[in-house]
Structure 1
Amino acid sequence: MPSALTAAYDARLARGDIRPDPAQGPALAALARLEADLEEAQPSGWGALFKKPESQRGVYLWGPVGRGKSMLMDLFFETAPVEKKRRTHFHVFMGEVHRLIDAWRKGDPAARKARFGQAKGDDPIAPVADVVAAEARLLCFDEFQVTDIADAMILGRLFEALLARGVTLVATSNRGPDALYKDGINRQLFLPFIALIKARMEVVSVAGSHDYRLDRLRAAGTWFSPNDPDNQRSFMELWRDMLGGEGEIGETLEILGRKVHLPHASGGMVRASFASLCSVALGPNDYVAVAEHFHTVFLEDLPRLTANRREEARRFVILIDALYEARVRLIVLAEAEPMALYPEGDGAFEFERTASRLQEMRSADWLSERD
């Protein structure tokens, strides 16, 4: 049977929506293989009423940002021959899983029966997997990453339970399986999950030399000033273009027991105002967490700083240092050019180093260096 996925991919090529990229070939082939496996596994006739769903060997696409992993997975999701399917960011899914686990643990028998269809037992993994599997036989995860110990400790058992219930998994990630939860607490307990990924998913590197997001940044520029309507419009258009149709699902970072909520986030990108990051009581650990979690930061409404905003300027310096050290891509909507942001006042001389870093971070070499 002709592949609906490859037909959709070829149609995009013909329209000029995407350009030919040999590095995407192995990923496209793996997804087309899974498409065929899912089609062949579809039950038919009276047997469909009694046949238990079977999990197919999934696909794990990994590589640097901007190589088309999400685009390929989205095309696959649109054409996959599965009625019950779901595409979501991985951290959104895990947030839902933790809420289900909490509901199971805190619920009385009646509440458990109403939500999960059962009430017995102390282990929440099986009933949670039942809920997830009932809603989707194909799960596609974007931005698969594991940084939270709570996620790390349950993933192996959860995914085993989902696979046993006939759920097929597809994921995109910036990290290969062996780099997941790298240097994490009790990582040895996480290693069986890595083995599970390798055994039950086809791992494909999408590491072509061409970064499509980088094309957009180079074309649009990364520093928008002054902060006038034209630059505000260009800044937001670039943000929406980089999102590629994804919604701003938000992200909550847990840092030393505190939670920092960033409402305008999607995958590895975040948009935040200067006030939300530098006019509140955040510190070095918070900025390092932002820099580690996001590969691209859109910073809006950066003002021209004065001596009476010395504390905000100090936080801004720490933020830029963290982003610089992590090689984060930075797009800024500001009142002025970097060297004119803090021209005089206490700390203005020291600020020159930050201005120099901002100049470097808007260069073509910096944008290319992120990978």
Structure 2
Amino acid sequence: MVVRLSEQWPEVSPDRLLSECVPPPRFADVRFSTYRPDPDEPTQSEALAALTERGTHLAAPRRTRSLWSRLRSTPTDGGKPAIYLDGGFGVGKTHLLASLWHESAAPKMYCTFVELTNLVGALGLRTAVDALSSYRLICIDEFELDDPGDTMLISRLLGQLVDAGVEFAATSNTLPGKLGEGRFQAVEFLREIQGLAARFDVRRVDGPDYRHRGLPVAPGPWPDEKVEQEAAVRRNASCDHFVDLHRHLAELHPSKYGALLDGVETVAITDIRPLTDENVALRMVVLADRMYDRNLPLLASGVPLDELFSKDMLKGGYRKKYLRALSRLVALARAA
């Protein structure tokens, strides 16, 4: 039976949000030993060595320390409580981040930046700090700051958790000092942004997107009828018209997009159209991330996926989000 995502109304408790903060299935089995650095990109080997060293440090349970010792100590290599992998799409940053999580002692947490802000929004800052202060490590994939509220919220959260002895690792496509540029008046929040940047030991990871090496930009879309027919014969497939789907996403909190895909093994979307509304586009980015986390093949009709976001969007402040989403959607379409 084909499921309509646009007809599902999942409920997600804060406890579920917290319990699901682990690497997605796609990265459940990755380890440092399975990462293959490109010999032509030395920064990949350097990042692997840095995270392997930090993983050895984090494999030991965290020792309880007094406030004074926490303020005076240098918790990790470089004296910074967080490591930050900066680089383009598909160079293995998430592979390395998930490997670090697997290597580290519990309690530990793995989430995307969007999932972290959703979690704090659901719990409240004080409750989130209380819940996470005992953690050995928090890994944050796709670190982004899209608005002033997020800047203040995450700055306060990280500051209080670092004071409690929690260590962090993060990935992004934007250097910490540049977070927020092009999205809001970053100058007004420069102190907050610089405060975040100062906590990170930044490691660059260069290289081409492995998902696009030697492959076409995007597969050709199927006819609507073929997508519907294929979805009907696949086990646990969903099938939605593009407009119905993005209208439904507007009525759900993004923290529920993962639960929206519960039990789904293939996603089918008919009549995909170019997007011009930034709000709709950003919701599709979150859905694409949750689909990619679950490795769900995508059956698609309408415009080619590389025409989903307008040219203006691909030049704007959220361009890196859109490019990441395109990279992932194209990979899922090839998988189908």
TM range (shorter): 0.5 to 0.7
Deviation, structure 1 residue 286: 4.0
Q: Select the residue among 88, 96, 101 that pairs with 1:72.
A: 96
Letter in 1 for 2:128: V
1:263 corresponding residue in structure 2:
257
User: Do structure 1's residue 323 and structure 2's residue 310 form an aligned pair?
Assistant: yes
Match of 1:205 in 2: 204
Deviation at 1:205, TM superposition (A): 1.3
Q: Report deviation, 1:215.
A: 3.1
1:146·1:180 contact (CA, 8 Å) conserved in 2?
A: yes
Partner of 2:44: 24
Aligned to 1:215: 213
Q: How many residues align?
A: 256
Q: 1:97 aligns with which of 112, 120, 123?
A: 120
Structure 2: how far apart are the matches of 1:126 and 1:10? Answer: 38
- Aligned counterparts of 1:141 and 1:332: Cα–Cα separation in 2: 22
**Mapped partners of 2:180, 2:248: distance in 1:** 16
**Counterpart code for 1:166:** G
- Kindly provide the CA deviation profile for residues 69-128 of structure 1, in whole angstroms up to 9, marking residues without a partner as x: 000111111112x22111111111110101122xxxxxxxxxxxxxxxxxxxxxxx4443
TM-score (norm 2): 0.59
Structure with the greater relative contact order (CA < 8 A, sep ≥ 6): 1 or 2?
A: 2
Q: Secondary structure at the match of 1:25?
A: helix
Work out the CA distance in 2 between the residues paired with 1:154 and 1:326.
Answer: 26
Counterpart AA for 2:277: P
Among residues 265, 269, 272, which one is paired with 1:273 in the alignment? 269
Secondary structure at 1:323 match in 2: coil
* 1:284 equivalent in alignment to 2:277: yes
Shift of 1:197: 3.1
- Judging changes above 3 Å, is the alpha-carbon distance between structure 1 residues 92 and 40 closer, same or farther for their aligned structure 2 residues? closer
SS at match of 2:213: helix
Q: Describe how 1:348-367 pairs up with structure 2 within 5 A.
A: none
Alignment partners' CA distance in 2, 1:155 and 1:31: 23
**What TM-score do you get using the length of structure 1 for normalisation?**
0.54
Consecutive unaligned residues of structure 1, counting only runs of 5 or more, are 1-6, 102-124, 237-249, 304-315, 335-361, 363-371
Structure 2 unmatched runs, 5+: 1-29, 235-244, 262-266, 292-296, 315-322
Amino acid across the alignment from 1:85: K
Please say which structure displays the higher CA radius of gyration. 1
CA contact (8 A) 1:287 1:322 kept: no
SS at match of 1:223: coil
Distance 1:229 1:160, change over 3 A: closer
Q: Does 1:225 align with 2:230?
A: no
Instruction: Within 5 Å, give how 1:222-261 maps onto structure 2.
Output: 222-226=219-223, 228=226, 232=230
> Shift of the alpha carbon at 1:41?
7.8
State the secondary structure of the residue aligned to 1:28: helix
C-alpha deviation, 1:158, in angstroms = 1.6
Going from structure 1 to structure 2, the CA distance change for 1:259 and 1:153 (only over 3 Å counts) comes to farther
1:173 and 1:93 map into 2 onto residues whose CA distance is: 14
Identity of aligned residues (%): 24
> Which residue number corresponds to residue 176 of structure 1?
175
Give the whole-Å Cα distance in 1 for the aligned partners of 2:332 and 2:160. 46
Letter in 2 for 1:143: E
Q: 1:302 to 1:228 in 2, by over 3 A?
A: closer
What SS class does the counterpart of residue 32 from structure 2 fall into?
Answer: helix
